[in-house]
């Protein structure tokens, strides 16, 4: 088992030339931005692992913390706080002293992609880092996948067939080693503004997740 205290990603990874070039050009435009592969954030021994898509250009790519600084993080951190999984309802920077409680957040793709759209090859290349993270999970852990790309990346990390584990909002999958995967629509600006994902729907997901954590 890989220790969660070890580095499960490489801060200088350049396996994806397009993403490496985009990070380089972004750093020139925004010299104060983080502009590196964004590491996971939260409790190393968490029973809940949240998997998102990728850092946003002016969000996690800027702050160095998942879902921090962009619109998608607003609903996420408010909901985490409501369910006692966070010490504060807002995540503003990597230095704001916010703590996650029994929760950890990561992304399927660690580097910001142009237009927030990683290629299939980039997703597969970065999957080795997610796989390392998932191998370190404790039995009884719940994984919450935000969106289909995150869901598919989790399934690939366990070397399972995508066709046998379809993505769907509120879908529940038993994976292995008593690990459970729950699917949710991504809490993106588009999904929340179009009401594809409402606050009530998102809170229902977290009710399912926390009930699983408390009973496992």
Domains of the chain: 38-215 (3.40.470.10)
Q: Kindly report, residue by residue over 91-125, the tens digit of the pLDDT.
A: 999 999 999 999 999 999 999 999 999 999 999 99
Please tell me whether the overall predicted TM-score, pTM, comes out greater than 0.75 for this model: yes
Q: Which residues of the chain have pLDDT under 50?
A: 1-7
Whole-angstrom distance, CA of residue 77 vs CA of residue 67: 8
**95 CB-near residues (< 8 Å, 6+ apart):** none
Residue 144, strand partner residues? 50, 182
**117 CB-near residues (< 8 Å, 6+ apart):** none
Radius of gyration of the chain (CA): 16
Helix or strand holding residue 180 (H, E) = strand 180-184
């Amino acid at each position: 088992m890989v220790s969660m205290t070890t580095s499960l990603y490489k801060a200088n990874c350049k396996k994806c030339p397009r993403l490496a070039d985009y990070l380089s050009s972004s750093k020139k435009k925004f010299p104060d931005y983080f502009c590196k592969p964004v590491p996971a954030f939260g409790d190393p021994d968490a029973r809940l692992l949240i998997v998102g898509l990728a850092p946003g250009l002016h969000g996690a790519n800027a702050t160095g913390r998942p879902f921090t600084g962009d619109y998608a993080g607003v609903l996420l951190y408010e909901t985490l706080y409501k369910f006692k999984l966070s010490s504060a309802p807002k995540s503003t920077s990597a230095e704001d002293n916010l703590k996650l409680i029994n929760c950890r957040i990561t992304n399927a793709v660690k580097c910001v992609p142009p237009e927030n759209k990683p290629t299939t090859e980039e997703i597969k290349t970065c999957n080795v880092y997610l796989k390392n993270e998932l191998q370190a999970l404790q039995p009884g852990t719940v994984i919450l996948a935000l969106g289909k790309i995150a869901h598919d990346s989790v399934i690939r990390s366990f070397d399972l067939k995508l066709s046998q584990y379809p993505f769907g909002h509120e879908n529940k999958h038993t994976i292995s080693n008593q690990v459970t995967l729950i699917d949710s629509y991504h809490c993106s600006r588009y999904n929340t503004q179009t009401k594809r994902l409402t606050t009530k729907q998102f809170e229902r997901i977290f009710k399912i997740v926390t009930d699983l954590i408390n009973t496992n």
